[in-house]
Structure 1
């Protein structure tokens, strides 16, 4: 089994340097903050009445985290879309943010084209590709970045770019109140956490949780503003650690999932991961406590992560960072290279052939 304290052993498995991308999450945020602060948006963009963010895969993850994080600050309705088509209500009064790491995601390009046809106010976020070309050709505002702090070139490990870019751009339009200082404070805290969780920190909590997760199927449960993080953890268990996982929301799961924990016998291979927070509503906190009782009564094990930090912004990014380390260490324990996604690549290839 891989020694999680041995960088040389880890590098032999982690061929694309996924670890480097995880360790540079703070720098991703810093780059996006600095670069997006310089973007000028058209004068009529603040007149929108609703927002649609379109993205797939990791780009959906970033939007989902941002949506939950800013839910109590947004001044207009925001929909996160992961499909080819935009809703019927999209019009000239809609802001559409089209986000695709590669800039080549067909669903996102299709939705963006529909939005443009309906005179929506469009912003694109990508590293280039057709999305950036479209924005340039149509003189649309866009954040096209060089992901220098994502050496693995893996979209799910470059979420700092998309999340911070969306926050800054929404703030520029006046749709959310968030300051550069708040983001800077989060980045400072994040840099400290990297040092606490990386290879040279022996037997740190992320390594311990990875060991606890081995040979189990994690069900990630979160409430309110951390639901997007639960989605990201499940995604990274899938793609990074090549481990089955899904996510649920509290209180929603309390209305049905608890009755499905008895059968089949293999349900004992589930393991609940509760993303808790002292910033949750008191009613939600109570639900976590009772949910754990039900899980235990069904003889299913569980563990908990309580993020560091005194604000929702800091806690959300702390949770993102911690989950990235946990799933990376689990990949090492499973002996799998965390960056490649062979079945996703196979699926895309076959889809083009049909």
Structure 2
């Protein structure tokens, strides 16, 4: 499947209605790496009723026990770190679930949601995230349809995203993406999409944390014109003020990216898809294959 066609599946992915059965629990731990791991990061910003820990390592926290809902997310089902974490969770007696398209994870004998294969893991963000959202948040049907509609609109017209990609390419600039709650994970998603799709370095941070560190180099660093700064707009007036004041005192201009939609799930997936198209167009302009992850696959083979 062409990468542009992969992107167009997201509007259908957000309608995926898979979910897990859960009982009483004290905390949620979500294990995943790379394009699969973003699911836990996104969910952790949407949900605050119980503690959520995102695990992107071989090992899991000491607190994991029988009161933990543990979700292993691996699109391939063969991610080394995630398999290790899931094995530890089983030994600790956690309630272990899995989201995968197959592989060893699907053979571990845990409560598993099987999702369609044939995509790049990062292109399956809806399939990987929605089961967790459906289980613990249970979004309204109209919110899901709003998200799907906005994604469909982006599929039909992504000229704005192409123009941003063109600006980045014209100046050979390094993207810097600034988010804020509940879009910190989305800013990180953009960073990783620039890495894997467009094959360029990128950087992400978030307000207001960045006002305690990034503010100084924004004012005083050398060769600042080599960076392309973007900031997600916020409905929090305190954050909006920070964005404006940060630009003024550092002499830095941010490209404002506005989230669309009335529901949180629609705004989050709209921003995710916005970044998908910026990075896709940059890959196309650079004449690189957005699906190529050969260096990552080579690394996995060498360490296996």
Report TM bin, short chain: over 0.9
Cα displacement (A) at 1:292: 1.9
* Selected match of 2:52 from 60, 78, 88: 78
What is the CA deviation profile of residues 282-302 of structure 1, one whole-angstrom value per residue up to 9, with x for unaligned ones?
Answer: 21111111122244x2xx553
* Selected match of 2:73 from 95, 99, 110: 99
Question: Contact between 2:146 and 2:261, CA under 8 Å: does it hold in 1?
Answer: no
1:18 aligns with 2:3: yes
Unaligned runs of 5+ in 1: 1-15, 171-175, 198-203
1:143 aligns with 2:113: yes
Distance in 1, matches of 2:253 and 2:244, equals 14
Distance 1:240 1:292, change over 3 A: same
Unaligned runs of 5+ in 2: none
Alignment of 1:204-353 (within 5 A): 204-214=159-169, 215-261=172-218, 265-277=222-234, 279=235, 281-295=236-250, 297=251, 300-352=252-304
In structure 2, what is the equivalent of residue 133 of structure 1?
Answer: 107
Q: What is the DSSP-based 3-state SS (H/G/I as helix, E as strand, rest coil) of the residue aligned with 2:60?
A: coil
Distance in 1, matches of 2:260 and 2:206, equals 20
Question: Contact between 2:30 and 2:70, CA under 8 Å: does it hold in 1?
Answer: yes
In structure 2, what is the equivalent of residue 65 of structure 1?
Answer: 42
Q: What is the DSSP-based 3-state SS (H/G/I as helix, E as strand, rest coil) of the residue aligned with 1:337?
A: coil
Distance 1:310 1:181, change over 3 A: closer
* Selected match of 1:54 from 14, 25, 31: 31
Question: Contact between 2:42 and 2:185, CA under 8 Å: does it hold in 1?
Answer: yes
Distance in 1, matches of 2:142 and 2:246, equals 37
In structure 2, what is the equivalent of residue 179 of structure 1?
Answer: 140
Cα displacement (A) at 1:349: 2.1
In structure 2, what is the equivalent of residue 116 of structure 1?
Answer: 90
Q: CA RMSD in A?
A: 1.7
* Selected match of 1:195 from 152, 156, 166: 156
What is the CA deviation profile of residues 156-193 of structure 1, one whole-angstrom value per residue up to 9, with x for unaligned ones?
Answer: 111011111211122xxxxx353344223322332233
Distance in 2, matches of 1:350 and 1:268, equals 38
Q: What is the DSSP-based 3-state SS (H/G/I as helix, E as strand, rest coil) of the residue aligned with 2:29?
A: strand
What is the CA deviation profile of residues 96-137 of structure 1, one whole-angstrom value per residue up to 9, with x for unaligned ones?
Answer: 0100010000111111111111110011000010110003xx
Q: What is the DSSP-based 3-state SS (H/G/I as helix, E as strand, rest coil) of the residue aligned with 1:158?
A: helix
1:155 aligns with 2:105: no
Q: TM-score, normalised by structure 2?
A: 0.94
Provide the aligned length of Structure 1 versus Structure 2: 302
In structure 2, what is the equivalent of residue 3 of structure 1?
Answer: none
Distance in 2, matches of 1:60 and 1:294, equals 36
What is the CA deviation profile of residues 130-163 of structure 1, one whole-angstrom value per residue up to 9, with x for unaligned ones?
Answer: 110003xxxx32101223xxx5x21111101111
Which structure has the greater CA radius of gyration?
A: 1
Question: Contact between 1:270 and 1:301, CA under 8 Å: does it hold in 2?
Answer: no
Question: Contact between 2:27 and 2:50, CA under 8 Å: does it hold in 1?
Answer: yes
Query: Which consecutive segments of 4 or more residues in structure 1 shift more than 3 A?
Result: 261-267
